[in-house]
Structure 1
Amino acid sequence: MDFRPVERAPGAFQQGVTAGQVEVMCARAFGAGTRVLAAQELGKGMYNNTYRVELAGQRPVILRVAPEPARQYRIERDLMRNEHASVPYLAPLAAMLPRTLTVDFTHELIGRDYLFQTLLDGVPAAGGLSAYPRPSWTGYFEQLGTLTRRLHSVRGKGFGPVMGPLHERWSDALLAYLADTAADLEQAGLAAGDVRQLAELVRRERAVLDEITEPRLLHGDLWIVNTMISGDAREPTITGVFDCDRTSWGDPESDWTIFMAQRRPGTERDAFWNTYGPLADSWSARRRALIYRARTLGAIRLERHRLGNTEGVEESYSDLWSVLTELATT
């Protein structure tokens, strides 16, 4: 077997599996006689360990392995299980999603959740877009706006992660997320006073948040890095979407995709709104948008800490305080 893992420091958050573990996982998934020809770890992701696995007599497959439970933040707990629970609700994008071949949450083989999926056609947009002139990227972002709108049209029965727990009120779901974020930050040795201050503001302004009464499906991570594009189309053409493990039910305007589309105005990203449509522009909507931005900055701080980005962690404090100041003065 040709095994090519990503080399990481012993204390790194992501910890790969061994060649022997890949073989036993493949044997369980595809039968005892399965012969593994090669397994190459794909190093772009920052949470799960992902491998492209070649099997004798079969198409290549993708193996995704979740972090050990003890390594998972509260706000990222059981993400792979959340994605598995989300599949029926991702139906509007079904033709673009990888098919799950087998799932193992028993922890009998490696003490971690893992699953096998089909390999999507195309090339990762994170690298493939650079092959096109930037003016043509507007078509990519228009497609992304269409896909996001499709997901946001799916209705749920409560607010929170797709696999639960669900809350009747949107404000309760946000407060639960903020409480977990603050606890994660403090467990990591980081100050969380600004996140707790945000939670107090949410408690005072429940009425503004609870104007959102209908839970909609949020992808939570839909952006360039989690899409595939055609390798030979004349214009950037989205052919696949992956890593749907951060799905939840909530206000569409709180979704990660909306946060990212609003960044760098005056660039090709503006084409996103051509197909997604305009955001609400009431006083309440603008206030909710500030709350969502602050919530996202708290989660970003955790990810930067995990990646050892000390400068980025410090920057998150000034960024979040800037939003809190704006909330206090408007």
Structure 2
Amino acid sequence: MEFSSIERAPGAFQEPVSAEQVAAMCERAFGGGAAVVSAVELGGGLYNNTLRVDIAGRDPVILRVAPRPDRQARIERALMRNEHASLPHFAPIAAMMPRTLFADWTHEVLGRDYVVQTMLDGVSASVGLRAYPRPSWAGFYRQLGTIARRVHEVSGERFGPVAGPTFATWGEALVSALEDTEADLVDAGLDASDVREVVAAAAKGSAVLDEIDRPRLLHGDLWVPNVMLDPDAPEPTITGVLDHDRASWGDPAADWVVHIAGLRAERDPFWETYGRRDEADGSAAWRALIYRARHIGAIRLERHRLGEHARIPDTYQEMREVLGLLADH
């Protein structure tokens, strides 16, 4: 087997996967006759280990290996299982998503969850978009708006992560997520007092949160890094959507794609197909601040996990701004 892995510093969050482990996982997935020709770890992912695996007589597959359970934060616990449980709800865009060929939660091979999936054609939009002149990116954002809207049209019965725990109200689900974020930051040795203030504000304003009374499907991480493009198309053309492991039921306005689409005017074409938000609504504006605070807390934790310590102070400044705006409501 030709084997290539990414070199990481000792103690890095993403732990290595060996050639022997790859062979054992593929043997379990495809039987003892599966001959692994090559396995190459792919960059770009920040949570799971992702490898392209070539097996004799088969199309290439993607092997994704989750972190060990004891390295998973509360807000990122069992994400691979959550993705697996949520897949049927993404049926409206299933043609754009990889197929899961095998999943193993037993931990008998290497003490970690893993899945084997089909490999999507195309190139990551993180790279592919750069090949096009910037004015043509408007079409990309319109396509993304259409995809996000289609996902958000799917409704559920309760709020929270698709695999659970779920809650009867949106307020309960959101307060629980914020409390978990606070606890994760404390565990990481970071000051979480500002998140604690957001928890208190959300709990006090639960009636406003509970105006959202119909759970909608949220992708959780839909944006440029998790979208594939046709490398030969004359304009940016989305062909694939990846990594819905943070999928949940909630308010579409709380989804990552809605948050990040609103940060720059360049992305305004997104709203042409997604539909405009009612920013004049006082309740919606207040909820948006709570959602922004939740994203900031999660970003702080991720930067700590990735060792990007120089970028952590920015999250405290952003959170101060949000708390100031919440105080004015």
TM-score (normalised: structure 1)? 0.98
Is residue 2:284 matched to residue 1:285?
A: yes
Is residue 2:285 matched to residue 1:300?
A: no
- For each residue in 1:175-210, what CA deviation from the matched residue of structure 2 results, as whole angstroms up to 9, or x when unmatched? 110111011000000011111110101111111111
- 2:36 alignment partner in structure 1: 36
Work out the CA distance in 1 between the residues paired with 2:286 and 2:188.
30
**3-state DSSP class of the match of 2:208?**
helix
- For each residue in 1:25-76, what CA deviation from the matched residue of structure 2 results, as whole angstroms up to 9, or x when unmatched? 0001011011101000001000000000001111100000000000000000
Equivalent positions of 1:1-330 (< 5 A) are 1-265=1-265, 267=266, 269-281=267-279, 282-330=281-329
Aligned residues: 328
**3-state DSSP class of the match of 2:11?**
coil
Work out the CA distance in 2 between the residues paired with 1:307 and 1:165.
27
**3-state DSSP class of the match of 1:214?**
coil
**3-state DSSP class of the match of 2:268?**
helix
Structure 1, gaps ≥5 residues long: none
Q: CA RMSD in A?
A: 0.7
Work out the CA distance in 2 between the residues paired with 1:313 and 1:259.
19
Work out the CA distance in 2 between the residues paired with 1:16 and 1:90.
31
Shift of 1:311: 2.1
Work out the CA distance in 2 between the residues paired with 1:301 and 1:253.
21
TM-score (normalised: structure 2)? 0.99
Shift of 1:310: 1.5
Work out the CA distance in 1 between the residues paired with 2:108 and 2:264.
46
**3-state DSSP class of the match of 1:11?**
coil
